Structure 1
Amino acid sequence: MNEATGIHTGNDPSSGEVGTPDRSLGWVVTGASQGFGRALVEALLARGDSAVATVRDESSIADLLDAYPQRLTVVTADFRERDAADRVAAAALERLGTPDVLVNNAGRAIVGAAEEVEPDALRELMDVNFFAATTLTRALLPAMRRRGGGTIMQFSSQGGRLSFPGVGAYSASKFALEGWSEALAAEVAPFGIRVVCVEPSRFRTGFNTGHSLGMSTELDAYAPVVGAVRAELAGADGIQEGDPARAAEILVDLAHGDRVPLRLPLGAEAVDRLTDAYTDALANVRSLADLARSADFADAAPSSRVV
């Protein structure tokens, strides 16, 4: 462990260990201490790939570092700190050269009505869930462009496409990430870089514990609307439907495959909820189409855009 940098590395990733028959990949995975990040690191290492993984507490991943010292580099990083993403990028470029896969998974949530969530708490959430991901992505993009390829996996949520009472702050951060990433996907496609927004429903990741889930101060006025949401989210740990290990295998297979979707729902609930949300949204647009069109100048030519 380098105390100055927070980086713990083993030996050169090419020494002493045998990869998979297909080309091994070099990954950067944030938030690897638990949940999706931890499951992904386990799955990719078992596949024969290498990783630079970030955690806030190195002991949470010490067993994997012991088992795969040649192919795992651990960086301690707290993405609430503004320089964390740049430090991680520097370590990734030094260790992997140009990473093949970037997984922006680190994140947290806060439950509360819009009036209950304090501005500082909302800004901190946006820093961790949105700005850290965009900063790390931007830091690694030049190397990916020069090489002409790479895959960027942005961990969003079903809450990145729909929202409900009590999760507006969290959804805001994920809506922002998805909007930014949708534009990014079109911008970097000519360079052979792929972008996928991962949209899970409920998985047994530790997300529904105090480690990742915060609660705002409660106002009595919102108890009838938000109270049940608070209780459901706080009590969901260990009973979620989704299996992080299975999700990780899907994502590792995807990274090794020829194509990735722009958006990937994960879990049956995500499929059902997103289907309902898209269906309702389309029905709403259609029902208002004539009214909406009437807002244009009557003699204006139809819209014509570059994209």
Structure 2
Amino acid sequence: MTNEVVTAEEPAGGAEGAPVWLITGCSSGLGRALAEHALSRGDRVAVTARDVASVRDLATAHGDRALALRLDVTDPASVTAAVEACEKEFGRVDVLVNNAGYGYLAAIEEGEDAAVRDLYDTNVHGVVTVLKAVLPGMRARRSGRIVNVSSFGGLAAFAATGYYHATKFALEGLSESLAAEVAPLGIAVTLAEPGGLRTRWAGSSMQQSPIRLDDYEQTAGKRRETTFAVSGRQPGDPVRAAAAIAAAVDAETPPLRLLLGSDALAGARARLERLRSEIDANETLTRSADLEPASGAAA
């Protein structure tokens, strides 16, 4: 399927000069909410999805400020084509949002090799592919905003979602390094770290291993069930989360990390306390790994 421009009549006044967003994974959830929020405030948005039909309505409703594009982050050719189409139509990408991703449920021993590789291809390698396609333009202009959608699960890990956490922990490290590299070039990087948003993540978008080992039923097995049970009852609102992300993007100095939701905030603070306690409890053992001071060295 080729990329296409789907437009309706442009509202009076035009949108020339408005910020340009490129958002991956806009078919539903946070990605769609972000696209709708940016368009509602007059920005221009390349709304992308693996199935372009799922975002065609956004382009039709918002005139030539919206561009519906096919983009599959696991298909480098589609990434290149989408970025080129966006730059041809709008002239640049000001804000890149790497939102495409999904979850996977399995105890570590239950994980299927092919499924885990597919998860990494989307949640990690796909982000890198999109970054490499967009960064040259941002570097040339010495400006840009990048939002990599991580998770509270990029800061703390639980049973049954170990492989998902692994991808988000990888994204956290990748983004922190990227932020240090591009800051002198006028480009800011933000990690969006949602808690439980009321999206399809824990429902129809969730994948899981068919392997169920009895020894893990009281840990990973129970969490599989509670994860599906919470779908549709999460405390977080993707519409409000989208507005918070846009506010961070607009900031003169965007935050490196932006927790989204009170559950993410409480969980992150608890994780910090556990980490501090573990570090402090082992301080003597930690320091024992240092070389002995040289003989005669000052104390």
**Smaller-chain TM-score bracket:** over 0.9
Is the 8 Å Cα contact of residues 86 and 93 (structure 2) preserved in structure 1? Answer: yes
Give the Å deviation of 1:7: 2.8
Give the Å deviation of 1:142: 1.4
Is the 8 Å Cα contact of residues 153 and 196 (structure 1) preserved in structure 2? Answer: yes
Q: Are residue 179 (structure 1) and residue 170 (structure 2) matched?
A: no
Partner of 2:109, secondary structure, is: coil
Partner of 1:7, secondary structure, is: coil
Q: Which residue of 1 aligns with 2:153?
A: 159
Counterparts of 1:258-269 in structure 2, within 5 Å, are: 258-269=252-263
Q: Which residue of 1 aligns with 2:209?
A: 216
Q: How many residues align?
A: 292
Partner of 2:64, secondary structure, is: coil
Q: Which residue of 1 aligns with 2:3?
A: 6
Root mean square deviation of aligned Cα: 1.8
Q: Which residue of 1 aligns with 2:199?
A: 205
2:259 and 2:150 mapped to 1: Cα distance?
Answer: 10
1:65-124 residue CA offsets vs partner (Å, 9 max, x unmatched): 221131111112333334333233222222232211000000011100011111111110
Give the Å deviation of 1:51: 0.7
Q: Which residue of 2 aligns with 1:68?
A: 62
Return 271-280 or 215-224, whichever deviates more: 215-224
1:178 and 1:7 mapped to 2: Cα distance?
Answer: 33
> Given residue 124 of structure 1, which amino acid in structure 2 is its aligned partner?
D
2:116 and 2:229 mapped to 1: Cα distance?
Answer: 23
Partner of 1:129, secondary structure, is: helix
Q: Which stretches in structure 2 are left out of the alignment for 5+ residues?
A: 295-299
TM, length-normalised to structure 1: 0.90
Q: Which stretches in structure 1 are left out of the alignment for 5+ residues?
A: 301-307
Q: Which residue of 2 aligns with 1:281?
A: 275
Give the Å deviation of 1:53: 1.4
Counterparts of 1:235-246 in structure 2, within 5 Å, are: 235-246=229-240
Give the Å deviation of 1:10: 2.9
> Given residue 214 of structure 1, which amino acid in structure 2 is its aligned partner?
Q
Query: In 2 relative to 1, CA 282–65 (structure 1 residues): closer, same or farther, beyond 3 Å?
Result: same
2:198 and 2:127 mapped to 1: Cα distance?
Answer: 23
1:91 and 1:132 mapped to 2: Cα distance?
Answer: 18
Return 254-263 or 152-161, whichever deviates more: 254-263
Percent identical residues: 38
Is the 8 Å Cα contact of residues 156 and 174 (structure 1) preserved in structure 2? Answer: yes
TM, length-normalised to structure 2: 0.92
Is the 8 Å Cα contact of residues 8 and 59 (structure 2) preserved in structure 1? Answer: no
1:106 and 1:184 mapped to 2: Cα distance?
Answer: 19
- Equivalent of 2:114 in 111, 120, 138: 120
2:73 and 2:142 mapped to 1: Cα distance?
Answer: 28
2:25 and 2:14 mapped to 1: Cα distance?
Answer: 24
Query: In 2 relative to 1, CA 17–40 (structure 1 residues): closer, same or farther, beyond 3 Å?
Result: farther
Partner of 1:83, secondary structure, is: helix
